[in-house]
Amino acid sequence: MWKRFFIIWISVLPFVVWPWMFEGAKILWFLAGGFFLTIFWLVELRTKLPKVITKTDFWYFSWLFVLLISSIFGLHPLDSIIGGSYRHQGVLFFFTLWLVGKTIAILSSKDKKLLIKGIGAGVIIESLVVIFQWPLDTLFSFPMTVNGRPLGTFGEPNAVAGFLTVGASFLPKFIPLLLVLAAILTTQSRTGMLSFFIVALGFLVINRKKMINWLTKEKILVAIFLSAVLVVSGFVVKSAFMRRPASVFEGRGMYWKLGWKAVSERPLLGYGAESGEVVYNMAYAVANLPLYELIVDRSHNLFLDVAMWSGFVGLVLFLGWIFTASNNLVKQGKWINIIGGLAWLVFSMFQPLGVVHWTLLFLILNF
């Protein structure tokens, strides 16, 4: 019974919203479930925990320990530990993620498949939501888009595109992937398109024999289809790349420049978890740069964020965890997981990560 509750809890996470409250509603749902999950591990599963501890966990817990120390001696210890700012990704959040990963690891093969089906169904539903939001905005000024870009159930076009592109790795079928591509194109997310290219390329490699056979039999149909996809994608990509920040002070280049400068001033242990907003506010003030109608709480680069939170010591440990976890997937020949992980990593290099994106990573690493 508990397995069904766990699967439902994870599967509905992308759709947890409150009136104009997106990430906040999701994180509350996640942490509330994480509280009961912690109790469940303590009471029912304590004998199973030692059996699922791996060398990869050594790297993760070493990073988590450094993050805790950094947070205690950081800018705002309480917020860093329990989670503050907009995303509430404190030490407690990352511990809960680890519990989620361990719970997935002990699921039976049947239950894992059910969880994957739940995530896959969520990706399809979210794609339909995004696609229908676009004409609603065009025809009726529907308030679920920004500049004609659908928000889905995430409240931000790039965030929903990130969920769709990584979640697409759980849908290694041609028609569902086309639906996801259509949804990502409507968001006009450049990062989403780039990440989806990884998934699509992986799909072609895995199914290369079928694709070659189809290409041989249906040359004209394939040519027409590919031409249509390229034309539509090219038009959308051109439109997306024309969208630039309203100010040169509010772009990734500036975030990265100021972020690395801040890290260089506190390189060993960083500023603690969820310190990005405070660090960037100080950095912009010191640089005497304007910051218009924008809260910057992430650098739009995962590794820079990790360095800011836990210093270069933490970054090395975090990279060690990523490497060992990825190496395990390669050894097991889990190529679909690897494709999803690569898409996730590409997305994380240019966009902030929400609770759904992090949860997808731990699903990829543990099923």
CA distance 168 to 305: 25
What pLDDT score does 290 carry?
Answer: 72
- Torsions phi, psi for 259 (to 5 deg): -65, -50
Q: Quote the mean pLDDT of the chain.
A: 85
| C-alpha 223 chain-centroid distance | 34
The 10s digit of each residue's pLDDT in 232-263 is 555 555 555 555 555 554 578 888 999 999 99
Q: How far is C-alpha 277 from the geometric centre of its chain's CA atoms?
A: 19
**Domain boundaries, given as residue ranges, for the chain:** 2-246+303-366
| pLDDT bucket at 354, cuts 50 / 70 / 90 | very high
User: What's the pLDDT band for 231 if we cut at 50, 70, 90?
Assistant: low
| pLDDT over 90 (residue 143) | no
| Residue 225 pLDDT exceeds 60 | no
Q: What's the rounded Cα separation, in Å, for the pair 367 and 352? A: 24
Q: What is the pLDDT of residue 49?
A: 67
Q: What three-state secondary structure class fits 18?
A: strand
Range with top average pLDDT, 74-78, 138-142, 208-212, 245-249:
74-78
C-alpha to C-alpha distance for 139 and 92, rounded to whole angstroms: 44
Single-letter amino acid, residue 39: I
DSSP string, 166-177: HHGGG--SHHHH
**Alpha-carbon torsion (36, 328, 206, 178), positive or negative:** positive
The dihedral through the CA atoms of 220, 223, 226, 229 has a sign that is negative
Residue 92: per-residue pLDDT: 95
- The reported pLDDT for the residue numbered 176 is 85
Region 147-167: what's the mean pLDDT? 90
Rounded distance between C-alpha atoms, residue 171 and residue 203, angstroms: 10
Report which of 185, 140, 119 is spatially closest to residue 340, judged by C-alpha positions.
119
Q: Is the dihedral of CA 294, 189, 29, 314 positive or negative?
A: negative
For residue 241, the one-letter residue type is F
The enclosing H or E element of 147 equals none
Q: Which residue has the higher pLDDT, 85 or 115?
A: 115
Percent of the chain with pLDDT over 70: 82
pLDDT confidence band for 346 (50 / 70 / 90): very high
In terms of average pLDDT, the best of 61-70, 255-264, 326-335 is 61-70
**Chain-centre distance for alpha carbon 128:** 20
pLDDT beyond 90 at 136: no
- Mean pLDDT, to the nearest integer, of 50-65? 89
Q: What pLDDT, on a 0 to 100 scale, did the predictor assign at position 153?
A: 92
CA 72-76-78 angle, to 5 degrees, is 70
151 confidence band (pLDDT: 50, 70, 90)? confident
Tens digits of residue pLDDT in 19-43 = 878 999 999 999 999 999 998 888 8
What does residue 141 show for φ and ψ, rounded to 5 degrees?
55, 45
Q: Mean pLDDT throughout 64-79?
A: 95
List, in sequence order, every residue forming a beta bridge with 149; answer none if it has no partner. 146
